[in-house]
Structure 1
Amino acid sequence: MTAATHILEQSIVVFSQNYLPISRVNIKRAIVLLLTGKAEPLAMMNVPVWKVRSPSHVIEVPEHIRLTIKGKERTWRVPPVNRREVLRRDHHTCQYCGSTNHLTLDHVVPLSKGGSHSWDNVVTACERCNQRKGNRTPEQANMPLLSHPRAPIHPTVAFAEQFWREHQIRQE
């Protein structure tokens, strides 16, 4: 692998105008944003800077850039509670045993016991666990959840949380 190929495989973290990490882009897209003035280099700690050369320019591309333009904020709504979205949220994994086969949806607190069909009450369960739990709560069935259900969050917020978690791990 040549040095040029290695540099072109790098990804750059893009921050909004108010320094919120919003996405990752490839280095080619970052160069375009820098050259058109839509972004500026963001110096954070001791992060690497890649030098990209063309016949007429040498551009230093840092690992982080900040947008200088204000874009329209896309509206994002919490998706409806349905099979596809619950499976996506739970990573196609049974929330009781971790299985990935024969998946169904399960109400943590059954509808007959006053539970609701909402993000914080519906989880992915395999057929076996769903039948074993029956018309009981996880505590009554002695089947603890692997993770507590919650509504999906805005993709930008999820990216920012992941970025800061990774950044904190690197510093330790």
Structure 2
Amino acid sequence: MTSAMQVLEQSVVVFSQNYLPLCRINIKRAIVLILDKKAEPLGFSTAGGWRIHSPRLVLDVPKHIRLTVASGERMWKVPPVNRREVLRRDHHSCQYCGSNKHLTLDHVIPRSQGGLHTWNNVVIACARCNSYKSNRTPLEAGMQLRTQPKPPVHPAIAFAVSEAWRNDATQFWINVQANLE
């Protein structure tokens, strides 16, 4: 049997009105959205969700919900190139050796050689790698980047291409097809 705390730690995938995956939210937030009629359950059975009991209400919370209100898409801008955002993009690790100690910003093509302070030219490097690379390109220093630097993508796009929700969504669409037949 599942405890109440274990159930409340579960998450629900949220789809837009156009059935595009947006994010994951906790069950408590999903319940509020459903009760406020801002979202509707997606799914044809409670087998893929949870039954929540309160003193006055029994509610079936599915693993997927769809927003029913237009969520005036907020404008998203590519964040500025700064230490915090580059650390987030590079997962707080050196892009040359993988270390997570004494991290600094490094310009792949040094500014003295015409390199710009852009998302495609700035990476996180540990102090040791940054010092060794010095005022050279990685090729000149004989170093290789672990990942190619690129600008961050819109959070909804990042979520849609992530593996975090795909298994749940696959099962959901299998259920949809089964009920249409």
User: Please, what TM-score do these two structures have when normalized by structure 2?
Assistant: 0.82
Q: Is the 8 A contact 2:11 2:27 kept in 1?
A: yes
Segments of 5+ residues of structure 2 without an aligned counterpart are 171-181
Moved over 4 A (4+): 44-47, 167-171
Q: Distance in 2 between matches of 1:47 and 1:150?
A: 41
**Mapping 1:1-172, distance limit 5 Å:** 3-43=3-43, 48-162=48-162, 165-168=163-166
Letter in 2 for 1:10: Q
Q: Distance in 1 between matches of 2:114 and 2:45?
A: 52
Q: Distance in 2 between matches of 1:126 and 1:36?
A: 49
In the alignment of these two chains, the number of paired residues is 169
Q: Is the 8 A contact 1:93 1:124 kept in 2?
A: yes
Segments of 5+ residues of structure 1 without an aligned counterpart are none
Q: Distance in 1 between matches of 2:145 and 2:167?
A: 26
Q: Distance in 1 between matches of 2:81 and 2:97?
A: 22
Aligned residues: CA RMSD: 2.4
Q: Distance in 2 between matches of 1:100 and 1:8?
A: 33
Deviation at 1:96, TM superposition (A): 0.3
Q: Distance in 1 between matches of 2:8 and 2:167?
A: 25
Q: Percent identity?
A: 60
Q: Distance in 1 between matches of 2:86 and 2:132?
A: 20
